[in-house]
Chains A and B, each alone.
Chain A
């Protein structure tokens, strides 16, 4: 997005009250469902609150406790892998799809809708289907592998130690989220003049250069916005991890945000849960602020 022109300020009112009135429904939701919960959660993180009691101030004890937990260290590593790899794959695939869809062809509208469909299809239902596709008890993927002779005993996609469970999670995350990248990148591509695009699509080696030096910079706001939205969905993901692996086996796919839920819902320990949820906030917000600078260049 380029520098915005100054909004045409209507001489509607000299006081801010009418504007505040118009803002009030939105502000109501933000204050009640964002600001207040945020304050409460901040208090939890420095208290020994349990479900049903607000607890006492304990300083940074919850964070101190966390730092010593091996399970938390696992979660840090898993969160980084899950977030970074998922987003990288979605960005690359989304870019390829956006280029494939930028030119009209027969059935383009249909293909476009089908690629967007997983993004709007309820995550829980899609993830449930994937659970049974990956299942090692007559799962559809293993069935196919075994029926075609590619594998004799099937593969333990979700329950083995090693990289497979994480790769399965990332696959489902990409399945769900690549449509959003495609849509946003396509919107970005469409704002690029046709001649620039044509010259990049046509000839081989030079077009790659042109892509890096001409098109990619023009797409930066679209890429940044897609990444920001995607960081939020992936870093904060609950449904996919909860349904597919529940953080297992033995903590191998536990992420920080999912761990925060588990600690609160299973142990009722709101203090530690809040500390977990906030522990990566500085990094998270810095990453988002960095990306946002590109989206809202001002």
Chain B
């Protein structure tokens, strides 16, 4: 299973370490017979690569922060305020996350293009959170609901203001759930192809994912593209993967019992 999981990743690594423009039509695909680091060296001196990394980091960071803040506030309101139908609101948020992109994508693209927002990083930064917030709110809401209430009752009795309760009582108890939602937001950005593929054509505001996607056809010289993946996204993905345990705990205690 581990071999299956790593197979395409290992293959990418090999391609990124090989010279030869025609390596996809000859040679051993599983071993870098003509080893080189030139693709990596090329990337490090390429200002375009730096910009792609910055764009990707900006899109990911903004999505992460916006999603976490908006989901936390919403989940807090739904769990602890007197609000009619808060349970139905939480559930419909979850269902709204489940609408397949095929249903929402075209109107979103048309709307953003009417507002002249396409071809900018902003288009992605405002679209991605809409994919992470509904599920994030739902996860945090179920998590908050399962926390023992005595902490909050004590804090309230001591005269803490609602946002102080959130800041000093709830958030310190919610580490795993917040990490799970954060990781989920990162996964939304990293797994997106559709929006970055259609909303942004301008290389100046592309993410790594869009750039790699647009190089897809260039099978003549795949080395640089795959070096880009290995250097640009693989470390972040690997780091994220080590949070799998936190992810499972965050979702686990909140959602699955």
Contacts and interface: CB of A to CB of B under 8 A. Distances in A.
Interface string B15-43: 10000000011101110000000000000
Interface string B168-201: 0000000000000001001100110110001000
B194 A257 contact: no
Contact of A228 (B12, B66, B98, B146): B98
A243 interface: yes
25 contacts: A7-B144, A7-B149, A8-B153, A12-B81, A12-B82, A19-B78, A20-B83, A23-B77, A25-B73, A26-B133, A32-B130, A38-B103, A44-B106, A120-B186, A122-B237, A123-B191, A138-B24, A143-B29, A184-B252, A187-B251, A228-B98, A231-B98, A236-B101, A239-B194, A277-B100
B224 interface: no
Residue of B103, B130, B137 ringed by the most chain A CB atoms within 10 A? B103
Contact of B134 (A30, A40, A188): A30
A119 B86 CA distance: 32
A242 B255 CA distance: 33
Nearest to A142: B29
A232 interface: yes
A137 B25 contact: yes
Contact of B256 (A8, A120, A187): A187
Contact of B190 (A115, A122, A144, A261): A122
Nearest to B162: A12
B51 interface: no
Interface string B213-238: 10010010010001001000110011
Contacts of B71: 26
B102 A36 contact: no
A112 interface: yes
Contact of A8 (B9, B80, B130): B80
Interface residues of B, number: 106
Given A112-B244, A121-B9, A184-B251, A34 B100 contact: no
Given A25-B70, A120-B240, A238 B24 contact: no
Contacts, number: 302
Nearest to B22: A138
Contact of B8 (A13, A44, A130, A274): A130
A41 B208 CA distance: 30
A214 to B, nearest CB: 16
Nearest to B146: A4
B82 A117 contact: no
A26 B93 contact: yes
Contact of B5 (A115, A140, A187, A270): A115
B137 A26 contact: yes
A81 interface: no
B229 A29 contact: no
Contacts of B76: 22
B204 interface: no
A264 interface: yes
Nearest to B98: A232
A246 B163 CA distance: 50
Interface in B103-158: 103-108, 110-111, 126-127, 129-130, 133-134, 137, 142, 144-146, 149, 152-153, 156
Contact of A33 (B80, B127, B253): B127
B7 interface: yes
B104 A41 contact: yes
B165 interface: yes
A30 B100 contact: no
Given A12-B80, A22-B74, A295 B255 contact: yes
B212 to A, nearest CB: 6
Nearest to A256: B102
B104 A38 contact: yes
A277 B103 CA distance: 5
A261 B1 CA distance: 33
A36 B106 CA distance: 12
Q: Which 3 A-B pairs have the closest CB atoms?
A: A187-B252, A236-B100, A33-B130
Contact of A40 (B4, B6, B111, B152): B111
Nearest to B104: A37
Contact of B73 (A26, A33, A117, A191): A26
B104 A34 contact: yes
A119 B133 contact: no
Contacts of A284: 100
B87 interface: yes
A238 B193 contact: yes
B70 to A, nearest CB: 4
B91 interface: yes
Contacts of B234: 121
Nearest to A26: B74
